[in-house]
Structure 1
């Protein structure tokens, strides 16, 4: 099932971000429940997802530390040049950015640590004051710790970033919703990437749609996915076995000694 059927990017005669990205002036058709976006860094995969989100307005983790605030307004302004055709109506869903999620976990850990530090200071400052005064002073910080601890079924802060990402992802999966995943492999081991594949498969059974920007040959291998390569030519469908990084990885796995021999030969000659 596809909740969105196509995205049309109007041609814009502006040589500024994001209009110089190769997909402006092109259309992408969604005819599979999973769409994979591949391409070099800087090709615009993440911006593509951001533009979809600007139009649809999915839930998204907000990163408190915005690294490039100057890019937010141009993406928001560009949404008027993006036309999305829906199967029925605008879907609900979630935008998962691995980078934002990692920052989110780090921020929660910092916030929790600061709350504990405040409690220690209150214990010292209120040592000779009434129990009621001390309790009132501790209350907001205890509330902060409690809210963080009760956010999810498992404590995300005691897990690795990869395990926390999977727990969070699993907690957000509903039915008939759209999920945008931006480089989800970033915090995930190979084993956890396989676990994510299983979760996506379960999500498909619940009639969800996934659009995934990735560099991972494992995630690219979803059998029922449509793969688009984003390049200076716009969007091009590509088969898994034709992806350059997949071909190179297979060659390396089959003959690692050939690659390493040339690498270390060059090192010795330096």
Structure 2
């Protein structure tokens, strides 16, 4: 039996601010979502080069369901410096009837400050203390501590802290969450995390966003080519580097 995703679609809000009011509308993937809407599945993975809109869309999903833009659960007040796009204000989040409202957002670039936020608030103080762990260990510990029960889990480039085996451990945890009825929305540059079983993969670029099979991703082809012959790749990179 297939469980309906908690967040099933994002679409433009006819009553929201005009697209020209926010810089994100110039990103092709964002413009496509505003024009056509975006249907989500139980596992949605976004891949693409830097600046393609992955983090912007995951952030918009997180804000649309009430989490903090820099991470946390619904209602989180954690914020260091507001830089988020207003895209979420121009979207309508369509939830499945009766779906849980539990949600958690893990944003790699703000995780260190998020640990401090947790430690400074006695009611949320974690055990163990994340700051006393390595970068990768703290990520996996946070996932294990905050992503347990069925809910909507959003992750923005979590591989930044993880080794190959750490990525495999995270993939296994996310797969188990989905099997228990959770929904995962993930942006990544990791071919390991992009291989999350059952994922609907969206490849973002100058064309906007398109569905793709894992083996057809430019991300996968590039890594395969490099691992097959690193010297060939490095020759081009180093020859083109300024003296």
Task: Output the TM-score relative to the length of structure 1.
Answer: 0.73
Counterparts of 1:77-226 in structure 2, within 5 Å, are 78-89=87-98, 91-105=101-115, 147=122, 151-226=125-200
Of 23, 26, 51, the residue aligned with 1:20 is 26
Looking at secondary structure, tell me which structure has more helix per residue: 1
| Residues 59-90 of structure 1: CA deviation (Å, up to 9, x unaligned) | 63465532xx3x34x52xx4342122211146
- For residues 231 and 183 of structure 1, what CA distance do their matches in structure 2 show? 17
C-alpha displacement of 1:106 = 6.1
Any gaps of 5 or more consecutive residues in structure 2? none
Pick aligned residue for 2:40 from 30, 48, 68: 30
Q: How many residues align?
A: 226
Gaps of 5+ in 1: 112-143
Distance (Å, rounded) in 2 between the aligned partners of 1:269 and 1:55: 44
Q: TM-score, normalised by structure 2?
A: 0.80
- The answer as to whether partners of 1:26 and 1:234 remain within 8 angstroms in 2 is no
Tell me: CA distance 1:263–1:56, structure 2 relative to 1, closer, same or farther (3 Å): closer
Larger-gyration structure (1/2): 1
In 1, the alpha carbon distance for the partners of 2:218 and 2:152 equals 28
Cα deviation 1:14-36 (Å, max 9, x = unaligned): 164233232221322123x2110
